[in-house]
Structure 1
Amino acid sequence: MDIQQVDTLVRSLYQAVDNKDVDYLSNALSEQSRFRLGNYPEVTDKTQILEGNRQFFSSIEAMKHTIDNIVFQRSDQTDSTHISCFGTVDYVRLDGSDHAAVFSTFLDVKNGLISDYRVFADLSGL
């Protein structure tokens, strides 16, 4: 992947997340994926990953990610691209109140699909 492809992938992913678009996630994740959000346990079953995202999406009214930086590295050994990005996310809770948090995401992409998706953010305020 080149910088333009990486940028497009990250921005499309977060637009889909902000839209609570589980169908996009289903198409973006490989069948053998690993996912972790904050302090929640790691999940490796795609069906459970999608269900976990549905549950999280239903626990908030809305969210908006602002990406500050994207860094990537191509790995010839694993034929994958390692992507890191960070920024802020503004949440609207179900009661209408706001909460902001910083986040950092690590992605591994192979054959155009996300195989590893780890998001680090303090979600305790939600």
Structure 2
Amino acid sequence: MITALFDSIDTKDINAFANFLAEDVIFCFSNWPQVEGKANVKNAVNAFLQSIAGIEHQVLAYWQPDDMLICRGLVTYTRHDNTSLSVPFANTLQILDGKISDYRIFADISAL
């Protein structure tokens, strides 16, 4: 699941990304306001992906206790001027009936 999830993000395939989400998903990215609901999360993530030229995740480790998926790694953002920024990240995802019901991204993207 984790590989396919990040592949959908890294290729900016917003529909494939949305297929991982529960209808009532809660999403929190860095210090941005929390977003609720699949359609709203899809729109918010799509807007973010359009604000950058590219994105690439390197997952360094992941754990899957009970109904959670926890991972950490390095994400590289490519800006529209072709400069890039790499930062560490940690994500927690709560999985309910095979879908992500709570998705939290911890990363400092203030330099982006």
Instruction: Return the TM-score normalized by structure 1.
Output: 0.86
SS of structure 1 residue aligned to 2:53 = strand
Partner of 1:39: 31
Which of 89, 92, 103 matches 2:89? 103
Higher helix share: 1
Query: Match of 2:19, SS?
Result: helix
| Structure 1 counterpart of 2:47 | 55
1:123 and 2:109 matched: yes
For the residue of structure 1 that corresponds to 2:58, the secondary structure is strand
Structure-1 separation of matches of 2:96 and 2:53: 32
Q: Secondary structure at the match of 2:78?
A: strand
Identity over aligned pairs, percent: 31
The structure with more radius of gyration: 1
Looking at structure 2, the residues matched to 67 and 28 of structure 1 have their Cα atoms a distance apart, in angstroms, of 18
Superposed displacement of residue 125, structure 1: 1.2
Distance 2:4 2:107 in 1: 20
Deviation for aligned residue 1:13:
0.4
- For 1:33 and 1:110, the matched residues in 2 are separated by 10
How big is the shift at 1:116?
0.7
CA displacement at 1:22 relative to structure 2: 0.8
The counterpart of 1:14, out of the listed 6, 16, 24, is 6
How many residues align? The count is: 112
CA distance in 1, matches of 2:22, 2:37: 10
Structure 1 outlier segments of 4+, above 4 Å: none
Distance 1:45 1:111 in 2: 16
